[in-house]
Structure 1
Amino acid sequence: MMGIGFSSFDADRNGSQMIVPSKPALGDLPESCVALILEYMDPPQICKLSKLNRTFRSASWADFVWESKLPPNYDALVRRIFEGFPGNLGKRGIYARLCRPNTFDEGNKKVWLDRSTGKLCLSISSKGLSITGIDDRRYWNYIPTEESRFNTIAYLQQIWWFEVDGEVEFPFPAGTYSLFFRLHLGKASKRFGRRVCNTEHVHGWDIKPARFQLWTSDGQYVASQCFLKEPGNWVFYHAGDFVVQNGNESTKIKFSMTQIDCTHTKGGLSLDSVLIYPSEFRKVKPFLRS
């Protein structure tokens, strides 16, 4: 036998050769059948199988395969994020575009789909937040860094009244979401190619807890509080969860973080961003377990 996909030769009783049909190969499957199989797989598996042969590659571009991977309100997402979005990409092309970190609102927000699940994630930079005292360099400074997806963080040297507020209005797909503040006690930098952390100004966060609040336009409210911890590490502080019932309408979220006990100062805090992730990610993404 010469191999899969070729006919083999055998001899009959008289010694003459006859052609024996070869066994069916993957390339013999109809493209429509392959597409039906791919529909039940997750995006990374589809992309991996598309490299097998031409049939799988063509089937992996079928619109109905990717229709089931996109959020039901993907057309609303496209309108909110992009201007002049190409109309000839197909569903796989739309999925790929939405999986990129797409910047909007003057570069202060990024939104993307998780490549494996198609779930929506959103991040708001420190420059997209309202920070008390941010314009006074005695208290706050913006610092460039490679440790932020926005390449900039807000660093607090010292202050009496700490308050950070923010809001976002967006057509979140239906589901349950969690909101986190990404914070770091101390100021990280690089020295001779190695990461170092200056904790000289860290103080006041162990005296009273920070308070987190979250409101939604449909009346949901949640509040929590905790002490800030783990100097030298970025930590995701869970502010609360909210539920979106209708993905075809924009949901407005307001949130805050405060520590307004003026009996003591607090400082040495790096504020990177606020992240909104599907709540189910807390079980599968270790960096969110804080």
Structure 2
Amino acid sequence: MDFTRILPEECLCLIISFTSPADACRSAVVCPALRSAVDSDGVWEKFLPCDYKSIILDSSSPASLLSMEKKELYFRLFCHSILIQNGTMSFQLEKGSGKKCYMLGARALSIIWGDTPDYWTWTSQPDSRFPEVAVLKLVWWLEVKGRIETRLLSSNTNYAAYIVFKLRNRRTTGFKHRPVGLNVNVDGVVPGEGRRVLLDPQDEPRHVREREDGWTEVEMGEFLNECGDDGTVEFSLKEIDTNYIKRGLIIEGIELRPKGIGSKVNNGHQCP
């Protein structure tokens, strides 16, 4: 017996809402009744984060986003990031699960001597999502820190933090032979060992990965966000050996996304 002929659409919508966005899209090809249910706002409202309205209200174009149908909004948020926090952060959804992804732009980070023109300069980059990126002119002491509250992230989710950057080729010094220290901690507790990574490796770049958006990333560490309580995740990049000059590093930001999601590294999010 075909249950789609018996159950009203409201029941079909409720059933589908307990699956995942990927499963919902698969269900749409089964029969017209499921396709109609999958297209309903009630289904996609469940897949969107419970605080999606407050996140969108903090963006630059809340009215146009909130006027969309919920399925259209979901696909918009995984195909394209939106800027929030006065353009210093970005927000995006992971395609298959609807988990939250954030990037803290360079302006949202604490960069030692970042506002000293002799050491750092701020400029726009055509392939950056942010209005400004930080360009390292010359320092001996390199230290970049960031933090985000765990309540903003998806609960019961294993996250990884990634430093997103570029190197200025011939103008780059200090990253071929001197690894930088990378660290992630939750409320002061480091979930794993800190990392030492070459940002400009000469051999096979095991840790450095090219992204489809034109930038490069290195994983800084990972952590489990269990209940999304009022905790704080902190991450840092540090190289403080003052015997070595560092220059030529361009920082776009630090991204947090569910561990194992390669959405912005090799495959990219493809809109259907």
Task: Quickly name the TM-score band, shorter chain normalised.
Answer: 0.7 to 0.9
2:227 to 211, 221, 246: 246
Superposed displacement of residue 121, structure 1: 0.7
- Say whether 1:227 aligns with 2:198: yes
Structure showing greater radius of gyration is 1
Rate the CA distance shift 1:246–1:93 in 2: closer, same or farther, 3 A: farther
In structure 2, the partner of 1:66 is 44
Percent identical among aligned pairs is 25
**Consecutive unaligned residues in structure 1, runs of 5 or more:** 1-25, 187-198
Task: Give 1:98-247 correspondences, 5 Å limit.
Answer: 99=78, 101-171=81-151, 172-174=153-155, 175-186=157-168, 199-217=169-187, 219-222=189-192, 223-229=194-200, 234-247=215-228
Partner of 2:259: 279
TM-score, normalisation: structure 1? 0.68
Mapping for residues 66-105 of structure 1, pairs under 5 Å: 66=44, 69-70=47-48, 74-79=49-54, 82=57, 92=71, 95=74, 99=78, 101-105=81-85
Q: Is the 8 A contact 2:90 2:104 kept in 1?
A: yes
> Which structure has more strand as a fraction of its residues?
1
User: What's the offset of the Cα at 1:270?
Assistant: 0.9
Work out the CA distance in 2 between the residues paired with 1:263 and 1:163: 15
Structure 2's unaligned 5+ residue stretches are: 203-209, 268-272
**Superposition RMSD in Å:** 3.9
C-alpha offsets along residues 164-188 of structure 1, whole Å, 9 cap, x if unaligned?
11111142122100000012111xx
Q: Higher relative CO (CA 8 A, sep ≥ 6), structure 1 or 2?
A: 2
- SS of equivalent to 1:200: helix
What is the rounded CA distance, in whole Å, between the counterparts of 1:50 and 1:150 in structure 2? 36
Q: Work out the CA distance in 2 between the residues paired with 1:179 and 1:221.
A: 12
Cα distance in structure 2, aligned partners of 1:220 and 1:91: 38
For 2:67 and 2:106, locate their aligned partners in 1 and report how far apart those are by CA, in whole Å. Answer: 36
